[in-house]
Amino acid sequence: MAHLILASSSPRRRELLAQLGLTFDIESPDIDESIFKDESASVYVERLARVKAEVVQQHFPDAIVIAADTSLGLDGKILGKPESKQHAFEMWAQLSGRKHDVFSGVCVRTKDQICSIVVRTQVEFQRLSLGDMESYWATGEPVGKAGAYAIQGIAARYIPRIDGSYSNVVGLPLHETVQLLQTVKVLN
Protein backbone atom coordinates (compact mmCIF):
# COMPACT_ATOMS: atom_id res chain seq x y z
CA MET A 1 0.00 0.00 0.00
CA ALA A 2 1.14 3.53 -0.72
CA HIS A 3 2.28 5.87 2.03
CA LEU A 4 -0.87 7.04 3.83
CA ILE A 5 -0.90 10.26 5.88
CA LEU A 6 -3.62 11.57 8.17
CA ALA A 7 -3.48 15.37 8.03
CA SER A 8 -4.72 15.93 11.56
CA SER A 9 -3.46 16.18 15.12
CA SER A 10 -6.82 15.01 16.49
CA PRO A 11 -6.42 11.92 18.68
CA ARG A 12 -10.04 11.02 17.93
CA ARG A 13 -9.42 10.97 14.16
CA ARG A 14 -6.28 8.92 14.73
CA GLU A 15 -8.25 6.34 16.77
CA LEU A 16 -11.08 6.21 14.24
CA LEU A 17 -8.78 5.74 11.25
CA ALA A 18 -6.86 3.04 13.13
CA GLN A 19 -10.15 1.13 13.50
CA LEU A 20 -9.98 0.51 9.75
CA GLY A 21 -6.74 -1.44 10.21
CA LEU A 22 -4.72 1.02 8.13
CA THR A 23 -1.09 1.98 8.70
CA PHE A 24 -0.56 5.72 8.45
CA ASP A 25 1.60 8.61 9.56
CA ILE A 26 0.39 11.85 11.12
CA GLU A 27 1.17 15.30 9.73
CA SER A 28 -0.73 18.24 11.16
CA PRO A 29 -0.75 21.20 8.77
CA ASP A 30 -0.74 24.75 10.08
CA ILE A 31 -3.54 26.52 8.21
CA ASP A 32 -5.76 29.54 8.68
CA GLU A 33 -9.10 28.23 9.96
CA SER A 34 -10.93 31.56 9.79
CA ILE A 35 -14.55 31.39 8.73
CA PHE A 36 -15.38 33.37 5.59
CA LYS A 37 -18.27 35.82 5.70
CA ASP A 38 -21.61 34.03 5.27
CA GLU A 39 -19.85 30.65 4.93
CA SER A 40 -22.04 27.70 5.87
CA ALA A 41 -20.74 24.92 8.10
CA SER A 42 -20.83 22.39 5.24
CA VAL A 43 -18.83 24.62 2.90
CA TYR A 44 -16.41 25.53 5.69
CA VAL A 45 -15.53 21.96 6.69
CA GLU A 46 -15.03 20.83 3.10
CA ARG A 47 -12.83 23.84 2.33
CA LEU A 48 -10.65 23.22 5.39
CA ALA A 49 -10.33 19.49 4.64
CA ARG A 50 -9.21 20.29 1.09
CA VAL A 51 -6.71 22.94 2.26
CA LYS A 52 -5.24 20.60 4.89
CA ALA A 53 -4.83 17.84 2.29
CA GLU A 54 -3.21 20.23 -0.17
CA VAL A 55 -0.68 21.56 2.35
CA VAL A 56 0.41 18.07 3.41
CA GLN A 57 0.47 16.82 -0.22
CA GLN A 58 2.93 19.60 -1.08
CA HIS A 59 5.38 18.16 1.47
CA PHE A 60 4.70 14.50 0.59
CA PRO A 61 3.82 14.46 -3.12
CA ASP A 62 3.76 10.66 -3.45
CA ALA A 63 1.59 10.06 -0.40
CA ILE A 64 -2.13 9.54 -0.12
CA VAL A 65 -3.44 12.19 2.24
CA ILE A 66 -6.61 11.99 4.32
CA ALA A 67 -7.76 15.28 5.82
CA ALA A 68 -10.91 16.17 7.73
CA ASP A 69 -12.57 18.97 9.59
CA THR A 70 -15.68 18.87 11.80
CA SER A 71 -17.95 21.70 12.93
CA LEU A 72 -21.42 22.18 14.32
CA GLY A 73 -24.14 24.10 12.55
CA LEU A 74 -27.04 25.69 14.40
CA ASP A 75 -29.41 28.34 13.08
CA GLY A 76 -27.13 29.00 10.12
CA LYS A 77 -24.10 29.65 12.33
CA ILE A 78 -20.96 27.63 12.92
CA LEU A 79 -20.22 26.62 16.51
CA GLY A 80 -16.52 26.03 16.98
CA LYS A 81 -14.43 25.21 20.03
CA PRO A 82 -15.11 27.08 23.27
CA GLU A 83 -12.78 29.97 24.03
CA SER A 84 -13.73 30.03 27.71
CA LYS A 85 -16.12 28.58 30.27
CA GLN A 86 -18.59 31.38 29.53
CA HIS A 87 -18.38 30.65 25.80
CA ALA A 88 -19.06 26.94 26.42
CA PHE A 89 -22.09 27.80 28.57
CA GLU A 90 -23.39 30.09 25.81
CA MET A 91 -23.06 27.28 23.28
CA TRP A 92 -24.79 24.78 25.56
CA ALA A 93 -27.63 27.24 26.15
CA GLN A 94 -28.13 27.33 22.37
CA LEU A 95 -27.93 23.52 22.02
CA SER A 96 -30.07 22.74 25.08
CA GLY A 97 -33.32 20.93 24.24
CA ARG A 98 -32.68 21.20 20.49
CA LYS A 99 -31.31 19.40 17.48
CA HIS A 100 -28.22 20.61 15.67
CA ASP A 101 -26.12 19.39 12.76
CA VAL A 102 -22.57 18.10 12.87
CA PHE A 103 -20.73 18.40 9.56
CA SER A 104 -17.46 16.73 8.64
CA GLY A 105 -15.61 17.45 5.46
CA VAL A 106 -13.26 14.67 4.37
CA CYS A 107 -10.73 14.94 1.56
CA VAL A 108 -8.57 12.16 0.16
CA ARG A 109 -5.84 13.46 -2.10
CA THR A 110 -3.19 11.77 -4.22
CA LYS A 111 -0.85 13.38 -6.72
CA ASP A 112 -3.45 12.61 -9.41
CA GLN A 113 -6.81 12.83 -7.66
CA ILE A 114 -8.75 14.92 -5.16
CA CYS A 115 -11.97 13.51 -3.73
CA SER A 116 -14.00 15.10 -0.99
CA ILE A 117 -17.34 14.74 0.71
CA VAL A 118 -19.37 16.41 3.44
CA VAL A 119 -21.26 14.24 5.91
CA ARG A 120 -24.09 15.57 8.07
CA THR A 121 -25.40 14.03 11.28
CA GLN A 122 -28.23 15.47 13.33
CA VAL A 123 -27.70 15.40 17.10
CA GLU A 124 -30.38 16.01 19.71
CA PHE A 125 -29.44 17.47 23.09
CA GLN A 126 -31.61 17.17 26.17
CA ARG A 127 -32.45 20.30 28.14
CA LEU A 128 -29.39 21.21 30.18
CA SER A 129 -29.66 22.75 33.62
CA LEU A 130 -27.04 25.12 34.98
CA GLY A 131 -26.00 22.22 37.25
CA ASP A 132 -25.52 19.97 34.19
CA MET A 133 -23.34 22.63 32.58
CA GLU A 134 -21.26 23.21 35.73
CA SER A 135 -20.74 19.46 36.22
CA TYR A 136 -19.79 18.87 32.60
CA TRP A 137 -17.40 21.82 32.47
CA ALA A 138 -15.68 20.57 35.64
CA THR A 139 -14.73 17.33 33.84
CA GLY A 140 -12.44 19.22 31.43
CA GLU A 141 -13.85 17.24 28.52
CA PRO A 142 -15.45 20.20 26.67
CA VAL A 143 -12.14 22.04 26.16
CA GLY A 144 -10.92 21.86 22.56
CA LYS A 145 -14.09 20.19 21.26
CA ALA A 146 -16.39 21.63 18.60
CA GLY A 147 -19.64 22.62 20.27
CA ALA A 148 -17.93 22.12 23.64
CA TYR A 149 -18.83 18.44 23.89
CA ALA A 150 -17.54 14.96 23.07
CA ILE A 151 -20.25 12.45 22.17
CA GLN A 152 -17.81 9.58 22.80
CA GLY A 153 -17.34 10.74 26.38
CA ILE A 154 -19.39 12.03 29.26
CA ALA A 155 -21.58 14.16 26.98
CA ALA A 156 -23.28 10.99 25.74
CA ARG A 157 -25.49 11.22 28.83
CA TYR A 158 -27.04 14.43 27.42
CA ILE A 159 -27.72 13.09 23.91
CA PRO A 160 -30.90 11.02 23.59
CA ARG A 161 -30.52 10.39 19.84
CA ILE A 162 -28.62 11.04 16.67
CA ASP A 163 -29.67 10.66 13.06
CA GLY A 164 -26.71 9.68 10.93
CA SER A 165 -23.11 8.61 11.39
CA TYR A 166 -21.82 8.34 14.96
CA SER A 167 -18.17 8.39 13.79
CA ASN A 168 -18.95 11.64 11.97
CA VAL A 169 -19.87 13.28 15.28
CA VAL A 170 -16.64 11.98 16.82
CA GLY A 171 -14.70 13.56 13.95
CA LEU A 172 -14.22 11.20 10.99
CA PRO A 173 -17.11 9.50 9.17
CA LEU A 174 -15.58 6.06 8.59
CA HIS A 175 -17.97 4.67 6.00
CA GLU A 176 -17.55 7.69 3.74
CA THR A 177 -13.78 7.79 4.30
CA VAL A 178 -13.55 4.18 3.11
CA GLN A 179 -15.61 5.10 0.04
CA LEU A 180 -13.18 7.91 -0.80
CA LEU A 181 -10.19 5.58 -0.33
CA GLN A 182 -11.87 3.08 -2.67
CA THR A 183 -12.40 5.84 -5.24
CA VAL A 184 -8.65 6.55 -5.34
CA LYS A 185 -7.96 2.78 -5.36
CA VAL A 186 -6.28 2.61 -1.95
CA LEU A 187 -8.81 0.06 -0.68
CA ASN A 188 -10.80 -2.59 -2.48
Of the residues 25, 32, 62, 69, only one is catalytic, namely 69
Task: Kindly tell me the burial class for residue 96, based on how many C-beta atoms sit within 10 Å of its own C-beta (0-12, 13-18, 19 or more).
Answer: middle
End-to-end CA distance of the chain: give it in Å, rounded.
11
Task: Kindly tell me the burial class for residue 95, based on how many C-beta atoms sit within 10 Å of its own C-beta (0-12, 13-18, 19 or more).
Answer: buried
DSSP string, 121-165: EEEE-----HHHHHHHHHTSTTTTSGGG--TTTGGGGG--EEES-
69 is catalytic: yes
Burial letters for 27-46: b for 16+ Cβ neighbours within 10 Å, e otherwise?
bebeeeeebeeeebbbbbbb
The SS3 call for residue 117 is strand
Q: How far is CA 183 from the centre of its chain?
A: 21
Q: Please give the positions annotated as active site.
A: 69
